[in-house]
Amino acid sequence: MKRKFNFLLTALLLFVAAGSAWADAGLYFKKSATANSDTLVVSEEGATGSSYYVAGVTVFTDSVFPVASGADIDSFIKIAGATAVYKIVNNGFELARIKSEEPYKVLPSVNDGTKVINVVAINADATKNFAGTINLSNAKNLTSVADGAFPEGTVTGIYPGLFTITANTGIAISTDGKLISATYNSLPQDPVAFKIGDAVTDVSVTWDGELKDAKTYEFTGVTSTKFAALKDSLEKLISISYTIAKADLDKLITDSLASAKFVITENQANDTTVSKEAMINDFLHTVPALVANNYQIKELSIAAGKVNVLVKVTAGNFIKDSAAISIDIVPAISLEKEAVVTTTFIEAGSLGQSSLSAAFNSAITVALKSSPNTPLIVNTDYTVGTPVVAKDSASVSAIIKGKGAYKDSVKVTVTVANFTIGGGNGITIDSPIKVSFKSGFTRVLTKADFGDNKFYEIDLSGATGLKGIDRDAFGPNVTLIGVVNVKALPTKSEESALFNVLLDDEQLKNGGYFAEYLMDTKGSDSIVISNYYAAKVQEPKIAFTKKEGASDVVKPTATVAWKSGNLKDANTYKPEIELLNFQGLNSYFAEHISYEIKPYPLEGRLSFTPKEEFVYNGEQQKAPDTAFTLTTKEIHNIVLTKEDYKVTKWGDNVNAGEKVGSVTFTITNPNFVEGKEEGDKAKVTVKFDIAQAEIAAADIRIINKKADKGSSNVTLTGSDVVSKFGKFGTDFVFYDKPSTVSLSKTAKTATLKLTSTSNLKYADAKDRSFTVPFAVVEKSVNDLASKIVLSGDKPTFTGSALHPSVTIAGLEEHTDFEVVLYEGGATSESVLSGKNSLEGKNAGEYVVWVEGIGEYGEHAAAGTFTIKKANVSTDVKWHTPAFTGEETEAELLEGLSGELLIGDYKLNSDDYEVTLANSTDGTFINALITGKAKSNFTGTHTFQLDGNSTIETVTAVPTSVSYANGVLTLTNLNGATATVVSLNGKIAAKFTVSGNEVQKAVSLTPGFYILSAGNAATKFIVK
């Protein structure tokens, strides 16, 4: 409504702008009963909301003004000077009155964004005070100007301008619109129409006579109801004439003969009872301009295969007064030579005299050899004689005789059938002969019944007396219905088909089999027996039963073989069926019965069973392929082998709990399915339990403590409690005060308890606490923090454990202190609640602490130790697959592998990702390897896979270790941990190798030692 208002406002303002002293009035929109229209009504005296009217133009919403006069209010508008009623219609507004002393220059228009819309109506009251000049040429949607409009004004732009003259069909008009002409057609003519825009108006022209005969007529005036005010002006402006030219008789007749394809057949020409003159008159009445009273047939003769006619017309309206016509006599077509007669059947019950003729006519179709699918019309093209029933009542014969364009006779014989016939003629697939049987039909169907090429739709559901069906009883265009259903299905009644298919009861109950009954648009029955893949041969056992008479059921001998596959893999299998005495249905059953082994649905049915229980150890839980079993549950029991799947991803799998662990498999065996498809593969995720670990396995201990200064007590905090796995505060806390406890320095143990969400468990379920021993010492490594030195370059990930080098002046590692690594990048004591070890393995930053042992206690921060990520380009030896150009992307990725040059670590899919790109000439594939963000690898590496690809040429860097004269020499072992161990197992020296050529002096007592670092080792003797 708001948009309509804007159109109206634009139009009204064009009027209002010229006003000077207008009275104010309030207007509102009211819903009209007329569809698609709204009415703008002047406000009544004292109407609710009148006090809101203000000067100028204002729009108000429904919330401002209540409903007035019981009408729905769309919006209010205040227009200065408007005292009349306006109506909004589909394409503009009807102007009722505007008080204005200013002259109209052009009628107002509004624009709805797509077209210009003018005022559509003007009444007398709207313009009674108007004395100027108005140009109507632009009012293209005007529908009426009432009589009495513009009594004092001058109207221009009427014609040409507002009105245009257009010629009606068959009428010619000159470019200036003044000369109009047509050809005589014996009928009164209406040559022109007056339009405004594209709309025809009620303006019509009067002439000086009836527009019928061939001559020129002069304009005498116009008539109009809706534009009465413009009538006088329009008559003064129009200067037109209308000429009707004489008709060309020869051309009219020739054109009509061509379009009507009028002929006289041989039969008509020779039939003395047929009036040739009547036939010619029937044709001439279709010729334009010829009617019964303006022509005569003067002569009519037959000669040389033609009918010759002389037609004479009344002079005056034609160029000539006569025309000669020569019409060919068309030879009749011999039905004896050219007819093709197709027959169906006549039901035995239709042999009575009252119904026989109609039944015979319905049972035959007559066509020509040249157009076999276009039937001739009985009683128009041929007649049918009296049908005669054979003595044995097995057939009915009659003579068909040509008529009209056809001649000669043909004898036709139709077979009498003791089954029900209906439908079409069987010539096309869209018009099949419909056949059904009753129980009284008790013979064998043979080729003579339905073995031809006609289209049949045969319903066998009622043929309970049928004794058999020969193998060739049905032709190629037979559709069978009512043949078979599945007895076990509740959706299909056993009585609705001749045969039933029965599935073995045991298979239905326990074998996972089920069946679907399908019906096509013609009611043809189909059966789909199905089961799910079970990793074994599954052959459905089916049998047939047939209804015999009213109530008996027999089981005919039938053999069923499934020979289209192995009956094990997911596939659709078709049967080969041999049905004794009903061999004609063998191919039907083979087509309409199928057995589908569907891929086994793994969703929610896959069980993951590890050979050993997963127990919390602070690490991600995973298992090699040989350490678990995948089996199905429900439907069928199947054990999956390694050829059926690949492990795609292990979950975080750290914390203990029921079904908290997960592993995702990519299913590669197409006999299984899962919801999320990846090409021809699918993924499935299974859950498993992670058991809580025993407290003892966590190796929870309290570091040596120094007594509180000036006190006989010792204070323990969470950072003093360390463990192999599990975290203080998360898995265990002090028994009395969870985070801090003060004990006598003579105490030997502290009591702790497990949290409610702990990953650990008590040895005895009845326990509620456990104790951990500790020692109180006099010395603290914290007091020597300034003397702690952390040395060594940042080693590179090798897949093996690495250890930083830490020294404290005056103290011996492994005797006075141990170096402990904590995962993470902070050095505050809060990190001490994290996982700790004496060495690092994964790339990343570790917090290094020293922990006092022996005579020393407490712990002190030593700094950070970083293990760098290995570079996939410089630190890895890549093995690339052979390449022929025929491999799939999956096959290429399968053949790609890598191993570190230092150490024996072999990369897996968690370490890197590969992007393959084909060359435009198809001769090679570019492989881009990128270290994954959260892996131990970084960088990128690129190489080509082509016809020469076997193993990428990356030479392994040789490593070596040796000892001579108190000096250890280590080559190409940067980042590795070097260890010197005596024969009694005591570590004599241990450090991280920093650099590829390193020599390190060691002081060793005489004896036999083993030096090892990375994948290199040597034995030596110190004398």
Residue 525 domain-assigned (yes or no): yes
Let me know whether 542 and 650 are in one domain.
Answer: no
Among candidate residues 147, 98, 148, the one with its CA nearest the CA of residue 119: 98
pLDDT at 119: 61
Task: Quick: pLDDT tens for 970-996.
Answer: 988 887 888 888 766 678 888 888 888
Distance from C-alpha of 418 to C-alpha of 392, rounded to nearest angstrom:
13
Let me know whether 401 and 385 are in one domain.
Answer: yes
Residue 47 domain-assigned (yes or no): yes
Distance from C-alpha of 547 to C-alpha of 465, rounded to nearest angstrom:
8
Please confirm whether the linkage preceding 804 is cis (ω < 30° from 0).
Answer: no
Cα diameter, the chain: 154
Distance from C-alpha of 718 to C-alpha of 476, rounded to nearest angstrom:
90
Among candidate residues 837, 784, 786, 790, the one with its CA nearest the CA of residue 811: 784
Range of the domain at 915: 870-945
Among candidate residues 714, 700, 718, the one with its CA nearest the CA of residue 762: 700
pLDDT at 323: 86
β-pairing, 499-503 vs 514-519, is unpaired
pLDDT at 217: 94
CB 475 within 8 A of CB 453: yes
Let me know whether 178 and 265 are in one domain.
Answer: no
Distance from C-alpha of 326 to C-alpha of 306, rounded to nearest angstrom:
6
Find the helix or strand (DSSP H, E) in which 227 lies.
none
> Of the candidates 867, 900, 930, which is a domain's last residue?
867
CB 817 within 8 A of CB 851: yes
Residues of the chain with pLDDT under 70: 1-121, 123-132, 315, 485-496, 516-525, 674-681, 792-793, 823-836, 947-957, 983-985
Let me know whether 188 and 229 are in one domain.
Answer: yes
Let me know whether 880 and 939 are in one domain.
Answer: yes
> Of the candidates 557, 573, 598, which is a domain's last residue?
598
Find the helix or strand (DSSP H, E) in which 122 lies.
strand 121-122
Instruction: Report the chain's C-alpha Rg in angstroms.
Output: 54
Residue 441 domain-assigned (yes or no): no
How far is Cα of residue 116 from the mean position of the Cα atoms in its chain? 43
Distance from C-alpha of 727 to C-alpha of 717, rounded to nearest angstrom:
13
Let me know whether 33 and 175 are in one domain.
Answer: no
Let me know whether 306 and 385 are in one domain.
Answer: no
Find the helix or strand (DSSP H, E) in which 354 lies.
helix 353-363
Please name the residues in contact with 56: beta carbons below 8 A apart, sequence gap of 6 or more: 78, 80
pLDDT at 208: 92
Please name the residues in contact with 229: beta carbons below 8 A apart, sequence gap of 6 or more: 124, 145, 146, 147, 148, 149, 150, 155
Distance from C-alpha of 280 to C-alpha of 304, rounded to nearest angstrom:
18
pLDDT at 151: 81
Residue 455 domain-assigned (yes or no): no
Q: How many domains does the chain have?
A: 10
CB 870 within 8 A of CB 976: no
pLDDT at 957: 66
CB 128 within 8 A of CB 101: no
Residue 629 phi/psi, 5-degree rounding, is -130, 135
Let me know whether 674 and 701 are in one domain.
Answer: no
Residue 638 domain-assigned (yes or no): yes
Let me know whether 1009 and 923 are in one domain.
Answer: no
Residue 477 domain-assigned (yes or no): no
β-pairing, 339-343 vs 92-95, is unpaired
> Of the candidates 848, 867, 886, which is a domain's last residue?
867
pLDDT at 836: 67
Among candidate residues 8, 82, 80, the one with its CA nearest the CA of residue 39: 8
Task: Quick: pLDDT tens for 313-359.
Answer: 876 888 888 888 888 888 889 999 999 998 888 888 888 878 899 99
- Provide, for the chain, the percentages of residues in helix, strand and coil under a 3-state DSSP scheme, each rounded to the nearest 5: 15, 40, 45
pLDDT at 177: 83
β-pairing, 388-389 vs 364-368, is unpaired
Let me know whether 30 and 112 are in one domain.
Answer: yes
Let me know whether 271 and 339 are in one domain.
Answer: no
Among candidate residues 87, 82, 84, the one with its CA nearest the CA of residue 31: 87
Residue 675 domain-assigned (yes or no): yes
Q: What angle do CA 617, 618, 622 make, to 5 degrees?
A: 70
Let me know whether 44 and 152 are in one domain.
Answer: yes
Residue 290 domain-assigned (yes or no): yes
DSSP 698: G
